[in-house]
Amino acid sequence: MTKKMKAIRRVVTGNDAQGKSVVTWDGDAPARHEGAVPGRGVTDYWVWNKTPQPINSTEDASLWPDEFPGPKGGGHIRTVHWLANDEVEGTVPPVVTPHSPVRSADGRAWDRGGGNNVTISDMHKTESVDFGIVMEGERGLVLDDSSTVIKPGDIVIQVGAWHLWDSSRIGCLMAFDMISAEFDKQGLGLQEEEIPVMLPKSNQVLPSGVKPQRRIITIDKEPGKSTLVADSFSPDVILDSARPGFALQRMWVIDSHPAKIVPETLQLPYVLVPPKSGTVLNVITFPPDSNWSGKVSKAQVEAFYKTARASEICTTGSIPNYPYSQKSSTIDFCLVTEGEIYLVLDTQEMLLKKGEFAVIRGSNHAWSNRSKQSATVAISSHDAVKV
């Protein structure tokens, strides 16, 4: 039976003429690009070609011309659909023999062989900082100094490093938010190398129902050799005493454009709101509404946003019955990694299930978990402007 690329739902929000948040598009993401091998390809959810990106475009930016590793000066968010050996029709080709680095025509990607046989990528690197999140299956990550297996929910922060992906055993769906960076002439560009990597405290305890978020960081610490900088859980967790079971686990911050090639960024203070031309990546676990609904005061909501250094985006009281509402000048890429949750707007609400995406474009919104289990959403917030 021919393997087919999976259709993935995407919800995109905007604002109407009165400034109320609305759904702009909802349905299977239309920008599915299948390659020569049935079942293997990419689905684009959003593309941007300048930073900050426009917040109020009337076009579906997933259909904009795209490239790898994303437009220079911008980026893209997409899912890659990779196959296992037993899902490939016919014989799996042999891997490409390793070779000296070859630079792409546009100068923003390099490869040196060692894979690229439809289930294993070549050893490659791109002039970008990438947030990679496994959605289904598993994937082998091979670096020059180590290798590991990543599974659903795990996040790889690829800071311009040489790497190879191996999906030959199971196959996978993996989401990538790829953000334009800049290397030096040697293709390295490591800046501020001595920034210490943050690790979780030994006494760090998460609320019941919250899984510790795995964070894998890779970088080239010397030309031509990738290094595993960290493979641990998020070291920076923000809780909310008014919502038992809530946890925000910080993952990465980008504070410039192009993105910097550095081994750590959580020493920066940004949480829910990125810096100018920047990005923040968080993983947020939302407990069932029944844990807290009707018991939270306006002061407690405002205290949470102050703790998250984001008082300016708090819009509590603007959506009846949903006190934790917010609105920011950002485009937020949201992937549900566990459970299901409602995205509540001024005018509509949508139930999002595991593996579904939302693109929130400067829209007033809140999250509502009406199930009996925790729901987790990975949210990459990008600075954006009205045009």
Quickly name the fold that domain 9-385 has: Jelly Rolls (2.60.120)
219 and 263 in contact (C-beta within 8 Å)?
A: yes
Q: Which amino acid is at 97?
A: T
Residue extents of the structural domains in the chain: 9-385
What is the rounded CA–CA span in Å between residue 166 and residue 82? 9
End-to-end CA distance of the chain: 47
pLDDT at 192: 66
Please spell the DSSP secondary structure of 252-302, one letter per residue.
Answer: EEE-SSSBPB-S--TTS--SSSPPTT-EEEEEEEE--GGGTTT---HHHHH
Give CA angle at 282 (281, 284), nearest 5°: 155
What is the rounded CA–CA span in Å between residue 280 and residue 270? 7
pLDDT at 106: 87
Note if the bond before 69 is cis, omega within 30 degrees.
Answer: yes
Half-sphere exposure (Cβ direction) of 249: Cα atoms closer than 13 Å? 28
Assigned token pair, 220: 């080239």
Low-confidence residues of the chain: pLDDT under 50: none
Sequence-ordered alpha helix ranges (H) in the chain: 298-307
Assigned token pair, 82: 């990779």
Look up the pTM and report it.
0.96
pLDDT at 183: 84
pLDDT at 191: 66
